[in-house]
Structure 1
Amino acid sequence: MLSNVPVSFASLQFRRTAEEDLEFVLTTEQHPANTPFIISWTPEQHRETIHSSDKLHLLVETQDGRPVGYLILAGLTSPNRCIELVRITIADQGRGYGKASIRFVQNHAFKHLKAHRLWLDVKEHNARAKQLYESSGFKTEGTLRECVRTNGGYESLIVMSMLEREYEEHGGE
């Protein structure tokens, strides 16, 4: 899994999210640049995830320990070896932190968690994230049409995934 000691990858560090990090997580999640693209959670949902044996809630930091985002993986105990990237939210955008975080997730899922499949869903209108996932080797599987109720009506989610062999073919690190 991942210890409480930060793991360095590319120009970032990844460590388990602690209770004292929740203010940063919630502020990042509720930032106007992020709210159109994610389904916000309560502090209790984040706390439950932090302490779950089936999920991994990680803080993304610069090498000097400045938090720049967070991510959540689920399905760690799946007998099918399917890991879900539940969320990746970057506060300091436009610096390559999202791309480096995706590379970390792929590496961690396939090399350390021994996943067969890594999957995610992304809101249909989130073109920037879709492009990042596609350029990272994820394939579109389909659309969950109008499955998320919002103040403006309903939104669709696109399901994307990558298989272990595709990760290797894509130049897995």
Structure 2
Amino acid sequence: MFTTERIKVVEATKEDIDVIIAIESHKENRDYLWIGTYEEHEAEINDPNHVLWLFKEKETERIVGYALARLDMISGIFELRRIAITVKHKGYGREVMEGMIRYVFEVLKMNRFWLDVYPDNEIGIKLYESLGMKKEGVLRQHYKSERGFLDQIIYSLLKSDYLEK
């Protein structure tokens, strides 16, 4: 798919699903994203309108995270549905997000990159805002989890925003 300075991003396969579920279930990730089932991830892998990517260190091949996105090729929309990094405080999240944004606008030729984030994901929010993403609004009590009803903040970056940078 694409590479960054330290990471190569590859398409996930059915053999990777257990690893993805383990990443989602990790105590530092599980409060901030939906944990998919094996069947859901298998369907995403087989769906041409979804991408399920693994992030691997170039030098070691160690998996350091994953992302799931939905593509709307007609409207040029890339929805980042989930992203999780397993190796914290190394800058991998920023590096992967910068590479993903570049890939979305320069290779896929999308017009809009968007995501939602829970308000208590302060690290994610800080990263998205530092990347130039704009807060579009809040879906109030939009998701019910074990933690109760949660708001979701919508952030986006348009191709025109990206080209201005």
Is the CA contact 2:73–2:110 (under 8 Å) kept in the aligned structure 1? no
Question: How far does the alpha carbon of each residue in 1:77-101 deviate from its partner, in whole angstroms, 9 at most, with x for none?
Answer: 4311011011111111111110011
Alignment of 1:53-132 (within 5 A): 53-63=48-58, 64-75=60-71, 77-132=72-127
Amino acid at match of 1:111: E
Is the CA contact 2:77–2:112 (under 8 Å) kept in the aligned structure 1? yes
Residue 139 of structure 1, CA deviation: 0.4
Residue 109 of structure 1, CA deviation: 0.7
Tell me the TM-score normalized by structure 1: 0.91
Distance 2:130 2:16 in 1: 30
Residue 107 of structure 1, CA deviation: 0.9
Tell me the TM-score normalized by structure 2: 0.95
Residue 22 of structure 1, CA deviation: 1.3
* Runs of 4+ in structure 1 over 2 Å off: none
Amino acid at match of 2:131: S
Question: How far does the alpha carbon of each residue in 1:88-131 deviate from its partner, in whole angstroms, 9 at most, with x for none?
Answer: 11111111110011011101110111011100000111110000
Distance 2:148 2:83 in 1: 24
CA RMSD of aligned residues (A): 1.0
Amino acid at match of 1:68: V
**Greater shift after overlay, 154-163 or 32-41?**
32-41
**In structure 2, what is the equivalent of residue 140 of structure 1?**
135
Amino acid at match of 1:66: R
Q: Does 1:159 align with 2:151?
A: no
Distance 1:166 1:149 in 2: 32
Amino acid at match of 1:140: K
Residue 20 of structure 1, CA deviation: 1.3
Count of matched residue positions in the alignment of Structure 1 and Structure 2 = 164
Residue 143 of structure 1, CA deviation: 0.1
Residue 9 of structure 1, CA deviation: 1.5
Question: How far does the alpha carbon of each residue in 1:131-165 deviate from its partner, in whole angstroms, 9 at most, with x for none?
Answer: 00000110000000001101232000000000001
Unpaired segments ≥5 residues, structure 2: none
Distance 1:11 1:36 in 2: 27
Unpaired segments ≥5 residues, structure 1: none
